[in-house]
């Protein structure tokens, strides 16, 4: 997964726990397993039933909590967040969970997704006297909650959520309860698990395996889940939910060991690779995948085509985080530090290189070059998703349309640009068949907007200029 040089970035992960004697360490391990969803900042808020305590900072989870801070966080519930920010947006004030204090108590909130009407709501709130501390769209929701006029926090949240549009998996916590909410399209994943007598919630189920929790069910689109000392109850805040889960969670973002809405990500990717081999066969000697996210699809392509799968590209796992400058030379160096071609595998061979996406085309060009420099005779690039032609407004940083190579160039022009012998993409139908979601649901219950341009929500005039996303 070469997110930071590929131009396609995960945007945040959320975790929550209630009813456990050690919620903060559990949240720590949960966030650790969601680290691939955001590496810029992390935070945990814990509640002991009477007050909230927060620790957050810039960096990876183990850096933010590197001095044993977690050992001073006691309570019965916690929420946590890992964050990815767009360039220039790295700012401790925006690191979540955000916490707001008032005479009536405190409210912590963490968000995965992006609100498409945040800017107009923010302008409206500012006209009414609200003052914002952050550039995060998440803070807009906190203001709507506090201004709702209802007494009960559940009613306040329900009221606020009827005003926001877009993608959100929200985790809220007050002193005596944890509340989770998923947008009416269920664009982002959010699962519920059990840990002893307590409940856990996570953006991905891989966190449950790490902490020893058992999977219970998904949070439904338009559902509010309230967990307190009495247990779990569910309420609805949308009368017409219609699932449109992000297809790219299956293709690229989620960990292969996670189940997204009950479909295993590795199996889905493998099946996408098989579809790709059926749609776009080629005579070759070896199949290889760009690590890590394309390995499963490469295995599927190899299985279907009968061409052996080999580790032709190796990821260097010990580079650490490199702050790659936007200069051409340093970007080239960045790829070489992170990825190597295995000469013994590719030399003199016709190589099928499987990747999951082409965003700007620069990373693909560098990887094709790496393979050729290692002696590959031919390089045939196969992409396990359709071309990304449209920007995402739901919390995935896919740049603007003009930066997306597939929105301005044909497949043949992209092939020429990346220097491949052949290039093919999976069809939209192949993507839906490969992921295997129920066809009875309209649009198969998945968002395809970055491929088709058909967005599952209204797109507001301010959507082109989103707030700091998460």
| Residues assigned a catalytic role | 12
The least CB distance from residue 392 to ligand SF4, in Å, is: 3
298, 287 contact by CB (below 8 A): yes
Q: Per the structure block, which two tokens stand in for 384?
A: 């396990």
Q: Which of 17, 73, 192, 246 binds ligand SF4 (CB under 6 A)?
A: 246
The least CB distance from residue 206 to ligand SF4, in Å, is: 19
Restricting to residues 372-431, name those near ligand SF4 by CB under 6 A: 392, 394, 396
Question: DSSP of 133-192, one letter per residue?
Answer: SSSBTHHHHHHHHHTS--SSHHHHHHHHHTT--EEEEEEEEETTEEEEEE-TT--S--EE
Restricting to residues 2-31, name those near ligand SF4 by CB under 6 A: none
Of the candidate spans 20-28, 233-241, 273-281, 446-454, the one that interacts with ligand SF4 by CB under 6 A turns out to be 446-454
Determine if 140 is a binding residue for ligand SF4 (CB under 6 A).
Answer: no
How far apart CA 381 and CA 383 sit, in angstroms, is 7
The least CB distance from residue 247 to ligand SF4, in Å, is: 4
253, 396 contact by CB (below 8 A): yes
Nearer of residues 46 and 359 to ligand SF4, judged by Cβ = 359
- Residue 375 CB-density burial (10 A; 0-12 exposed, 13-18 middle, 19+ buried): middle
Of the candidate spans 146-154, 190-198, 240-248, 426-434, the one that interacts with ligand SF4 by CB under 6 A turns out to be 240-248
Cis before 320 (ω within 30)? no
Nearer of residues 187 and 302 to ligand SF4, judged by Cβ = 187
93, 57 contact by CB (below 8 A): no
The least CB distance from residue 8 to ligand SF4, in Å, is: 8
249, 260 contact by CB (below 8 A): yes
Restricting to residues 54-73, name those near ligand SF4 by CB under 6 A: none
**What's the full length of the chain, in residues?**
470
Nearer of residues 247 and 305 to ligand SF4, judged by Cβ = 247
Nearer of residues 282 and 385 to ligand SF4, judged by Cβ = 385
Restricting to residues 178-197, name those near ligand SF4 by CB under 6 A: 187
Nearer of residues 247 and 384 to ligand SF4, judged by Cβ = 247
The least CB distance from residue 446 to ligand SF4, in Å, is: 7
Nearer of residues 248 and 432 to ligand SF4, judged by Cβ = 248
The least CB distance from residue 57 to ligand SF4, in Å, is: 28
Of the candidate spans 70-78, 131-139, 229-237, 242-250, the one that interacts with ligand SF4 by CB under 6 A turns out to be 242-250
Q: Which of 145, 12, 177, 144 is nearest to 78 (CA)?
A: 177
CA atoms within 13 A on the CB side of 231: 2
Nearer of residues 228 and 261 to ligand SF4, judged by Cβ = 261
H helices of 52-137, in order, are 61-64, 118-127
Backbone angles phi, psi at 313, to 5 degrees: -130, 135
Determine if 248 is a binding residue for ligand SF4 (CB under 6 A).
Answer: yes
Token pair 């959100």 in the structure block, residue: 168
Cis before 97 (ω within 30)? yes
Token pair 């909410």 in the structure block, residue: 181
The least CB distance from residue 7 to ligand SF4, in Å, is: 13
Of the candidate spans 193-201, 241-249, 273-281, 330-338, the one that interacts with ligand SF4 by CB under 6 A turns out to be 241-249
Q: Which of 182, 232, 426, 450 binds ligand SF4 (CB under 6 A)?
A: 450
| Residue 29 CB contacts under 8 Å (≥ 6 apart), including other chains | 207, 210, 211
Nearer of residues 79 and 396 to ligand SF4, judged by Cβ = 396
The least CB distance from residue 452 to ligand SF4, in Å, is: 9
How far apart CA 217 and CA 375 sit, in angstroms, is 49
Residues that contact ligand SF4, how many (by CB under 6 A):
11
Of the candidate spans 177-185, 210-218, 399-407, 443-451, the one that interacts with ligand SF4 by CB under 6 A turns out to be 443-451
Of the candidate spans 16-24, 89-97, 339-347, 447-455, the one that interacts with ligand SF4 by CB under 6 A turns out to be 447-455
| Residue 31 CB contacts under 8 Å (≥ 6 apart), including other chains | 13, 15, 42, 44, 61, 80, 81, 82, 207
Strands 77-83 and 41-47: antiparallel
Q: Would residue 99 be called left, alpha or beta, if left means φ above 0 and alpha means ψ between -120 and 50 degrees? A: beta
What is the binding site for ligand SF4 (CB under 6 A)?
187, 246-248, 392, 394, 396, 447-450
């Amino acid at each position: 997964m070469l997110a930071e040089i590929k131009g396609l970035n995960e945007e945040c992960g959320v975790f929550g726990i209630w009813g456990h004697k050690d919620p903060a360490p559990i949240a720590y391990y949960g966030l650790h397993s969601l680290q691939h969803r955001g590496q810029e900042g992390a935070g945990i808020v814990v509640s002991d039933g009477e007050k909230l305590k927060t620790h957050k900072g810039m960096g990876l989870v183990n850096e933010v909590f590197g001095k044993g801070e977690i050992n001073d966080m006691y309570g019965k519930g916690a929420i946590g967040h890992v964050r990815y920010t767009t360039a220039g947006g790295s700012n401790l004030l925006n690191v979540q969970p955000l916490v707001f204090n008032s005479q009536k108590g405190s409210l912590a909130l963490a968000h995965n997704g992006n609100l498409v009407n945040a800017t107009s709501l923010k302008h409206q709130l500012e006209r009414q006297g609200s003052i914002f501390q952050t550039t995060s769209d998440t803070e807009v929701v906190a203001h709507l909650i506090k201004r709702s006029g209802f007494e009960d926090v559940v009613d306040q949240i329900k009221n606020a959520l009827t005003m926001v549009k877009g993608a959100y998996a929200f985790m809220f916590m007050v002193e005596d309860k944890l509340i989770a909410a998923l947008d009416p399209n269920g664009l982002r994943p959010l699962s519920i698990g059990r840990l002893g007598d307590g409940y856990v919630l996570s953006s991905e189920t891989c966190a449950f395996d790490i902490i020893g929790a058992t999977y219970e069910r998904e949070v439904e689109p338009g559902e509010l889940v309230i967990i307190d000392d009495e247990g779990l109850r569910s309420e609805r805040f949308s009368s017409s939910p219609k699932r449109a889960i992000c297809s790219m969670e299956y293709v690229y973002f989620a960990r292969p060991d996670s189940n997204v809405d009950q479909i295993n990500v590795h199996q889905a990717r493998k099946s996408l690779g098989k579809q790709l081999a059926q749609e776009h066969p080629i005579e070759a000697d070896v199949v290889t995948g760009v690590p890590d996210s394309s390995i499963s699809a490469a295995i599927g392509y190899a299985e279907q085509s009968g061409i052996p799968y080999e580790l032709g590209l190796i990821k260097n796992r010990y580079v650490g985080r490199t702050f790659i400058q936007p200069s051409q030379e340093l970007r080239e160096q960045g790829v070489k530090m992170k990825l190597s071609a295995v000469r013994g595998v590719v030399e003199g061979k016709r190589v099928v290189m499987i990747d999951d996406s082409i965003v700007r085309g620069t990373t693909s060009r560098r990887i094709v070059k790496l393979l050729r420099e290692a002696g590959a005779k031919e390089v045939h690039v196969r992409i396990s998703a359709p071309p990304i032609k449209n920007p995402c407004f739901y919390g995935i940083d896919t740049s603007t349309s003009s930066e997306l190579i597939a929105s301005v160039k044909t497949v043949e022009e992209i092939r020429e640009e990346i220097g491949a012998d052949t290039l093919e993409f999976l069809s939209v139908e192949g993507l839906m068949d490969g992921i295997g979601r129920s066809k009875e649901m309209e649009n198969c219950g998945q968002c395809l907007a970055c491929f088709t341009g058909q967005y599952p929500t209204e797109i507001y005039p301010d959507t082109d200029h989103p707030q700091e996303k998460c």
